Amino acid sequence: ALTGKYLSKELFSQVADQVVEEIRPVPHHGHSRAYLTECLRAETRRALCSAAEGIKKK
């Protein structure tokens, strides 16, 4: 999904949306599926942004 594309927050949001479409978290420890899905979306964006920042610094 990222190959050959300009890295941007918009692209990372699109990738995060794709991730949550493919993953179905199982509710546990009192957290709903919706909550876990939003956490997954946010953490995916955060990880991609962090990786992109690391690339810029090199």
Q: pLDDT truncated to tens, each residue of the chain (58 aa)? A: 678 899 999 999 999 999 999 998 999 999 999 999 999 999 999 999 999 998 888 7
Residues 6+ apart with CB under 8 A from 12: 44, 45, 48, 49, 52
What pLDDT was estimated at residue 18? 95
**How far is Cα 32 from Cα 26, in angstroms, rounded to an integer?**
8
pTM of model > 0.75: yes
Q: Could you tell me the sign of the dihedral formed by the alpha carbons of 8, 14, 17, 18, in that order?
A: negative
What pLDDT was estimated at residue 47? 97
Structural domain boundaries of the chain? 9-57
Residue 28's DSSP bridge partners are: 31
**How far is Cα 58 from Cα 44, in angstroms, rounded to an integer?**
22
What pLDDT was estimated at residue 1? 67
What pLDDT was estimated at residue 30? 95
